[in-house]
Amino acid sequence: MLTGILCLAVFFVMAVAMYGRKLSALLALPLMAIAIALIGGIDGAVIVKDVLSAGSVKLHNAYTATMFGAMLAELINKHGMARSLVRFVAEFAGDSPYLLGLLLTGVTALLFSTLGGLGAVIMVGTIVLPVMLSLGIPALAAAGLFLFGISLGGMFNLTNWQLYTDVLKIEQATIISFVVPFSLILGLVILLFLLFELKEKRNAGYFSLGLLVLGALYYPLSRFNPRDASAFAAFSDFSYPFAFFSLLALSAYALFRHFSRQENVPGFSLLTPIVPLVFVLVFRWEIIPAFIMGIAYGALTTWKRDSINILTRSIIDGVTNVIPAVLLMMGIGMLIAAVMDKGVSAAIAPLIKAVVPGSPLTYVLTFTLMAPLALYRGPLSLWGMGSGLVTLIINLTTLTAQAVMGMLMSVGQVQGICDPTNTQNIWIATYLGVDTQVILRKTLPYALLAAFLGLSLAVLKGYVQ
């Protein structure tokens, strides 16, 4: 019992250090892994071999996918596709702040299904936020909408799926069957956020229409299971010749652009962010080849004489931009390796079993109340201390991997939207001249509602018995 208490004390000390910005997560996670391994009595040779060496490459699939995703994101950035898409939607929305807010949140979500990192936040934010402000959306509401869009897009970001797959050992089909209906739930929360923040009677009509659309979509999408879709199996068989002939056609188009010296960004190139999603969701491709198809589509549809240099810089700059995330995943792998040691897991097991709920009702209520523990990379954050605990929760309690996934994605909305230590929150607050703590107070009730509804969805899908 003492060993388990000391291990949790290490978690607490590191949390305080990260909260006080005395220590970054990049350093805290490896230090946690080493400290817990020492407290758990793991032999020095085992620490070097299993915790540090094997642990650092434990999530290699996740951070390799992150690199390819970053290459595509940088290509989208360098060709100005994000800027073109936002401007098109802003013109389409007219002068309605409610409609504009919804559409720009949707565009932000679409872009961040592929984009990631502070650079992408700055790139999109400097376009989206001024447009919102120009039509009278208050600064705090604009900040909240932008953060909701980033979080909604992150739910469909394939690199995040790979992390869930590696840590929780669950299939993509399971992730898809939860993410799709949960995205509609988050859409409902966004509708409510705009309704209450803009405080105009005419917005009730837009809210009601949005509610009807989400309601009509929810039932069929909540029952959708990719593994049962026989039509998708046929699409999968067809995908390889389709990809081959598509690349041939796009190559011919790129040659035409090259010799005719075209420099414009054609409208169909704006589909680049969803190309990897189509190949994963419809054609059932693995994540990395899907990203490669996205890169090829984006490069060929926007081809110009210096595209080779642009593509090369996109690859180099993209990987450079995600090095912090790669290092973070290495630390997560080390922490998982440390807590999965038999001695450590046995010491922590009684404490985990005493806290983690087992019934559907306690699952929803307990994790809703504990959702703020996802802030500051706390014990419910997969990108922080939670990365070590979630594996123990699956192994030591009655909760299934699906239930843990539903919990992490649900409470993850609190961390992704509200956390004052997120680099995007800090930049948005600075750009808009507000305080990160004010953004936290403004968005937290809505993020908690999203967490509650997401946990309820996990119960309705039978993840918790």
Q: Which of 31-35, 324-328, 362-366 has the lowest mean pLDDT?
A: 324-328
Q: Is the pTM of this model over 0.85?
A: no
Whether 110 and 82 have beta carbons less than 8 Å apart is answered as no
Please give the average per-residue pLDDT across 128-148, as a whole number.
89
Q: Does residue 226 carry a pLDDT above 70? A: no
As given in the structure block, the two tokens for residue 132 are 């919102």
What Rg value do the Cα atoms of the chain yield, rounded? 22
- Give the pLDDT band (50/70/90) at residue 238: confident
Provide the percentage of residues in the chain whose pLDDT is more than 90: 26
For 407, the token pair is: 């919990």
Tens digit of pLDDT for each residue in 9-22? 887 787 777 766 67
Structural tokens at position 189: 């929360």
> Domain limits of the chain?
60-323
Compute the distance between CA of residue 215 and CA of residue 141 in angstroms, rounded to an integer: 24
CA–chain centroid gap for 363, Å, is 23
The answer to whether the Cα torsion of 269, 270, 272, 274 is positive or negative is: negative
Give 185: exposed, middle or buried? Use CB within 10 Å, 0-12, 13-18, 19+: buried
Count how many Cα atoms sit within 13 Å of the Cα of residue 223 in the half-sphere of its side chain: 4
DSSP state of 422: S
Q: Look at the block and give the residue holding tokens 């807590």.
A: 339
CB atoms within 10 A of CB 170: 19
Q: Which residue has the higher pLDDT, 259 or 83?
A: 259
Q: Which amino acid is at 211?
A: L
pLDDT number for residue 206: 81
| Contact call for residues 140 and 171 (beta carbons, < 8 A) | no
Q: Please state the rounded mean pLDDT for residues 261-271.
A: 86
Please answer whether residues 269 and 79 qualify as being in contact, where contact means their C-beta atoms are separated by less than 8 angstroms.
yes
The candidate with the shortest Cα–Cα distance to 197, out of 149, 152, 151, 142, is: 142
Give the angle subtended at the CA of 336 by the CAs of 334 and 341, to the nearest 5°.
100
- Measured distance CA(196)–CA(107) in Å, rounded: 21
Name the DSSP class of 366: H
Give the whole-angstrom CA distance, residue 343 versus residue 37.
9
